Structure 1
Amino acid sequence: MNAFRAKPLKFPWPPLLYGAAVLIALALGHLFPIPVAHEHSWILSLVGYGLVVLAITIDLWAVKTLLDRHTAVLPNRCATCLVTCGPFRFTRNPIYFSYTLAMTGLGLATINPWFFITAIAAVGLTTLFAIRKEERHLLSRFGFEFERYCRHTSRWI
């Protein structure tokens, strides 16, 4: 099978990676809590939950944009068109960005620094195991159009 028809991923790793990162952050926060001064914890909670709501909004917007263009939402499916509108105007990976934003919000809301650490690990692993393969897939499918999109739109933000 040539690269044009090959799937970018055999399994949709990013949701699993981020889900594992959340569970690990919760477990580490319980087993090895990092002391943090939290005099104004209600402000942190408010900001944190606001980021979670923003993340959900971005995620839903990205999924709707993909569905409106009749292309794959899951990263283990072949793309049928290059989507550069909606949240994809601002970042090439709005869904993964929203996962990271949600983890940041949860870290603030729960005052658990492990969320920030595991979010960084999830970003690195997602870039290494998913995004690079997805980008190769999109380059093989859309060539110069994808290269031009990459020059004008950053991978994360």
Structure 2
Amino acid sequence: MSDHERQPARFPWPPVIYLAAIAVAATLGIFYPLAWFGPPLSDILFAIGCLLIVGFVILDVQAMRTLHKAGTAILPTRGADAW
């Protein structure tokens, strides 16, 4: 069986792993908060974190637009439509 004939996984693992990591981080943040930095530095780090999240969302949307323009599947449970 060549690489072009392989079927994708039926279960969407990448989004599930990503959401599980977010859930674990949020749960640990609630039950075991760590206060390593004081207010001036923590505010700067929070702003940097927000900017990184916005940047990654923009990168993800751009990747989905590129895949859509190429005519291939975006969902991990579908096979590639274009080579």
Q: Which amino acid aligns with 2:11?
A: F
Q: Which amino acid aligns with 1:71?
A: T
Q: How many residues align?
A: 81
Q: Deviations over 1:99-138 (max 9, x none)?
A: xxxxxxxxxxxxxxxxxxxxxxxxxxxxxxxxxxxxxxxx
Q: Is the 8 A contact 1:72 1:80 kept in 2?
A: yes
Structure 1: distance between partners of 2:79 and 2:26: 34
Q: Which amino acid aligns with 2:25?
A: A
Structure 2: distance between partners of 1:26 and 1:12: 22
Structure 2: distance between partners of 1:58 and 1:8: 24
Q: Which amino acid aligns with 2:69?
A: D
TM superposition shift of 1:25 = 0.5
Aligned twin of 1:13: 13
TM superposition shift of 1:57 = 0.3
Aligned twin of 2:37: 37
The structure with the largest alpha-carbon Rg is 2
**Runs ≥4 in structure 1, deviation > 3 angstroms?**
none
TM superposition shift of 1:35 = 3.1
CA RMSD of aligned residues (A): 1.6
TM superposition shift of 1:13 = 0.9
Structure 2 unmatched runs, 5+:
none
Q: Between the two proteins, what is the percent identity of the paired residues? A: 36
**Which protein has greater RCO, CA pairs closer than 8 Å, 6+ apart?**
2
Aligned twin of 1:100: none
Q: Is the 8 A contact 1:5 1:78 kept in 2?
A: no
Q: Secondary structure at the match of 2:35?
A: coil
Q: Which amino acid aligns with 1:21?
A: A
Length-normalised TM-score, structure 1: 0.47
Structure 2: distance between partners of 1:38 and 1:11: 43
Structure 1: distance between partners of 2:23 and 2:43: 23
Structure 1 unmatched runs, 5+:
83-157
Q: Secondary structure at the match of 2:25?
A: helix
Aligned twin of 1:61: 62
TM superposition shift of 1:37 = 1.5
Q: Secondary structure at the match of 2:50?
A: helix
Q: Which amino acid aligns with 2:37?
A: A
